[in-house]
Structure 1
Amino acid sequence: MTEVSGWLWLIVFIPLLGCEAPLFLEEVAAQHKEATHRSDMFQAAAASDEVIVVVGTMGAVLTSRDGGETWLREVLKDKPFLIDVARCPDGTFAMLDVSRKLWLGDGLPGQWQAVAIDTQEALQAMTCDAEGTFWVVGGFSTILTSKDRGVSWRTTSLGEDLHFTGVQILDGQHAFVSGEFGALAYSQDGGESWQPLTPLADDFYPQDALFISPQEGWVVGLSGTILHTRDGGGSWQRQATGTEVPLYGIALNDGVLYVVGGNGTLLRKQLEPGSGWQPIDHGKPIRFYLRAVTPLAEGKLLIGGGYGALHIVSA
């Protein structure tokens, strides 16, 4: 480019920037006034009768006290990556931070308290059982429990070099964990001991799992895969889904199973034998993935995921 042509290019280009920049900045400013941002990557949600809590990357915490009609946004100090959230029977919400912390609170902004988790392992998922015990799972097949709100922790490892990425407590005795390489384990004594189950075929990596009894459950994952067991994980059968998108979350609401995944996918299935998985047209402009799926009152469902996707749907 000659010196003259270079100056001509600058003369043309600068006025264009001068016209477009204010419009762009106004759009950004308006978007940041909203509770959800396009940069939000929502990971999980939990709900009580009064409060809904949604967590995501960069410390984003959204809460609603009117069933998702309006949201309050909060960003925690140091913007931790929040990967999971659970509600305890006493109304406490516990949010899992990948930097080995729990954030505890009742859903009111500005009142979250951080509690360190005594481990060196990478943490992946958590839940809170009917007794208020915290359960956290992660690297090196580690299972951690705390009965005193995180003051002390009991650590169990199955000795396998793999990550557990899911944990579910059915009652005071029965519990399941799931993870990479198709790993599954089961406890029938409240976590005092664990029995490894036969790994899922082809090292299938469950993105989420849901058991409705010690015998019956489902796991979901890549390539539109949903597997079902009726014998406590001894054997699994693939169920037709009609999709090849990755599936990330599963939940039960009023006798209906719901699964969310890539491209805004939402599937449903009645628990009754013989019913199949059906796609739901939720009518929301979601082009990316859904990961969070949480049952709400009156048959409604919260769905959330990438790029600020957060909606309440009647499914």
Structure 2
Amino acid sequence: MLFNPLQVGALTLPNRFVLAPLTRTRAGVEHLPNDLMAEYYAQRASGGLLITECTMVVEGTSAFIAEPGIYSAEQIEGWKKTTAAVHAKGGRIFMQIWHAGRAAHPGINGGQRTVSSSATAIEGEIHTPAGKVPHAVPHALSTDEIATIVAAFAQGAKNAIEAGFDGVEVHGANGYLIDQFLRDGCNQRTDGYGGSVENRARFLLEVLTAVSAAIGSERVGLRLSPLNSYNSMKDSDPVGLIAYLAEKLNDFKLAYLHLMRADFFGVQTGDVMTVAREKYKGVLMGNMGYSAEEAALAIKEGKLDAVAFGNTYIANPDLPERIKAGAALNAPDSSTYYSPGAKGYTDYPTM
């Protein structure tokens, strides 16, 4: 089933292997996509769809020091290397567009203040050029500032298309800005963007409306993680949250909904996939710890339409070919996930 074609918005995927969006911090402190990144993505072009690492739509919102951006002409030109390399190998690639919100830090961003839905900091510390420091207490965005960020997502999507991408994935997961509005463990607002699930979803729906108007909804995907407690996130009713969102998303005719099924840390549990499948009428992509066997069975049973692979795709650039051949898989080296250079990035062997 993993090798069956799939229509995803404007694209026909030749198979249902998806490269999950994986932060790899190879863009340097200038946040510029480069030749090494083009090589990395092109190596994995046999997958049905590649999704890039989280990419900043607003300058000064870095959370990882060396992640890429899509807000400057230079970045658009840099990304053209990646899209050309992937397309030359017959691949398809979406850019994940992203605002870190309170996960960014002034110490990484030249003193620029951190923002969020509410003035509540992430617990613990963050890596900055000056070493580990506590997360910053964010500024709670005004409604005017929210509108500016919605516009930035739309412009980022346009920039991605100009750079040659086939579409974009809106990052609504893992405790970054959109997720900071969605979940009531973070969102403490009392205005039209806080309180009820309808209000908490308002920012996401405004972003999707603007991005869809900018590039067409058939070129827009969305990633959500209602259970994941990463970045000090929680929600009082994650299953209810995904039930509401999955139904609302039917209005948009998106390319797909990309759903993380679990919590990195096992703090929150619940069956979000079944509810999403019941409510959402479009293409549903699953993610988090699927083996090829489990993925194929889930697709066969109609629980999913595609599966995004993370760690295994890092270590196996030819993952679809290996699975088809029944070949052994390379083991990923997590110590090189965020280090600079080719080691653990573009040097994994193919069959």
Do these two structures clear the TM 0.5 threshold for a shared fold by scoring above it? Answer: no
Query: What range describes the TM-score normalised by the shorter chain of this pair?
Result: 0.3 to 0.5
* Structure with a larger share of its residues in helix: 2
Larger RCO: 1 or 2 (CA < 8 Å, sep 6+) = 2
Calculate the TM-score normalised by the size of structure 2: 0.32
Higher strand share: 1
